Structure 1
Amino acid sequence: MKKYFSIITILFFAISSAQEKKAETSQDFQNNLNKEYANKTESPLTEEDFKVFKTLDFYPINEKFTIEAKFVRTQNEKVFEMKTSTTRLPKYIKYGELSFIIDGKNFKLNVYQNIDLSKKEGYEDYLFLPFSDLTCGKESYLGGRYIDMRFPKSETVIIDFNKAYNPYCAYNHKYSCPIVPLENDLKIEILAGVKKFHD
C-alpha cells in the first residue's frame, strides 16, 4: 500500500511541476518578449532601432491588473472585417464577452477569433483581445495593445494585463495591424504591460 501511495505521490508532484512550468508567469512573458525582440529573425524592429535595442519598457508587474473576469460566449455573431492600419481587412468573429471589476468599477471587453488563423494547426483555439485605455498616447502606444488568449474552459477567465503587448505597428510602419474596436476602449488607466517604444 505504501508503495502505491509513493508512486501516486511522485506522479502527483511530477504532474504539478509540469503544469507549473507550462503556466507562463507575467515575468516569463516579458522575458520571452524581450528575447524575441532581441532576435533579428523574429524582431519587428527597424534596422536602426535593432542596433541600439536592449529591452522593452514595461510597467512594473502589478497583481492588481491580473483580473478575474466572467466569460460569456456570445451567440449568432456574424463574421466581420476588422479595420487595420493599412487597407487589409482580416475576417474576425466576436467570440465572447469578458466582464470584470477594477477599483470597484465594472468593465467589459469583447474577445475575437481570427477566421483564417483558426484554420492553422495550433491556433484553432486562439483568441484575440485588443484594448485601449486612458494611458494610450501618453505612457502607452496610441493605437492600443493586445493580449493573447485561448478558448476559456469555464465561465471564469484570468486577464493578465501585465502580458499586454504592442502591435508590430508601434515599432515599424511596414506592418499591418488590427485597430482596436471602439467597444474595447477602457475608461481607466491600465498601468501594466508594455509601454510605448518611442517618446
Structure 2
Amino acid sequence: MNKNSIFWTLVALVIGISLIYTFTGTENPELYQETIEAERERQFKFLKFNMESPLKEDQKQELDSLDFYPIDPSYKVRARMVPVANKRILEIPMTDGSIERYIRHSFAEFELAEKPVKLLLLQAEDETDLRNFFLAFADETSGEETYGGGRYLNLRQDGQSSITIDFNLAFNPYCAYNPDFACPIPPRENILEIPIKAGEKNYDK
C-alpha cells in the first residue's frame, strides 16, 4: 500500500470513528469519566461557595460532598426529536403552588435498557436560543434514592432532529436543598415507570 492510500485509509478511519461517536454518543471512556466528574465538582463548588447557592450558611459549612450514582455511559442516549403538533403554552405547577409557563416543544424518543422511552421537552417561554430545552422528570427512584420532586436536565439540540440526553448529569432542583425555593414539578408525560439510576441522588441534610 502506497503512502497516498495509507493517508486516505486513515482519513476514512477517523471519519468513521467520528460518525460512530456522533450517532451512538460514544466517546473516549476516560475523557467521558473526567468530563462528568468535572461537572459534578463544578456543581459541588457552586452549592458550597457561590453567593447564589440555595444552601443556607450552616448547610454550606456542613456540605463536604454530593451523592451521585456511579457514572454509567449506558445512560447517555441519542434521542429522536418529534415535534409536538400543537406547540401550546403549558402551565407547570411549582412546588409552592404558583405557575411557570413553558412551551410544549417536542417529544424525545429513545430506548433505555431495551425499553422505549418518550419524554416531553419543554422550552422556556422567553428562551432566545431555540436549541435550548428543559427536561424535568421523575422515575421509580424518586422519593427513595433520589429527590421526590424529580430531577432536571438542561439540554441543547445537537442535530437537525436529534438531541443527546445524558442522565449522568441529572441534578436536583433548588427546592431539594431548601424548601424556600419554588421548583417546577415534572409534567405527567415525564413520570417514568422505570428507575433512572444515574445522576444526583437525594441531598443528605
TM-score bin (small chain): 0.7 to 0.9
**How do 1:81-96 and structure 2 match up within 5 A?**
81-96=91-106
In the other structure, the counterpart of 2:15 is none
In the other structure, the counterpart of 1:6 is none
Deviation at 1:124, TM superposition (A): 5.2
**How do 1:1-199 and structure 2 match up within 5 A?**
25-116=35-126, 118-119=127-128, 125-198=131-204
Deviation at 1:60, TM superposition (A): 0.8
Using the aligned pairs only, state the percent identity. 37
What SS class does the counterpart of residue 82 from structure 1 fall into? strand
What SS class does the counterpart of residue 158 from structure 1 fall into? strand
> Would you say how many aligned residue pairs link Structure 1 and Structure 2?
174
Deviation at 1:96, TM superposition (A): 0.5
For the 8 Å contact 1:71–1:152, the answer to whether it is kept is: no
CA distance in 1, matches of 2:123, 2:62: 35
Deviation at 1:92, TM superposition (A): 0.6
Structure 2 runs not aligned, ≥5 long? 1-26
CA distance in 1, matches of 2:130, 2:38: 24
For the 8 Å contact 2:48–2:61, the answer to whether it is kept is: no
- Whichever residue aligns with residue 73 of structure 2, its letter is E
Query: Alpha carbon RMSD of aligned pairs, Å?
Result: 2.0
Deviation at 1:54, TM superposition (A): 1.1
CA distance in 1, matches of 2:112, 2:61: 39
- Whichever residue aligns with residue 101 of structure 1, its letter is E
Structure 1 runs not aligned, ≥5 long? 1-19
CA distance in 2, matches of 1:165, 1:185: 16
Measured against aligned partners, the alpha-carbon deviations of 1:108-161 in whole angstroms (never above 9, x if no partner) come to 100001113x15xxx554210011010011110001000001234322321100
Measured against aligned partners, the alpha-carbon deviations of 1:89-117 in whole angstroms (never above 9, x if no partner) come to 1111111011111121111100001113x
CA distance in 1, matches of 2:182, 2:116: 32
After the TM superposition, which of the residue ranges 33-42 and 148-157 deviates more from structure 2? 148-157
- Whichever residue aligns with residue 197 of structure 2, its letter is L
CA distance in 2, matches of 1:62, 1:175: 30
TM-score (norm 1): 0.81
CA distance in 2, matches of 1:27, 1:48: 25
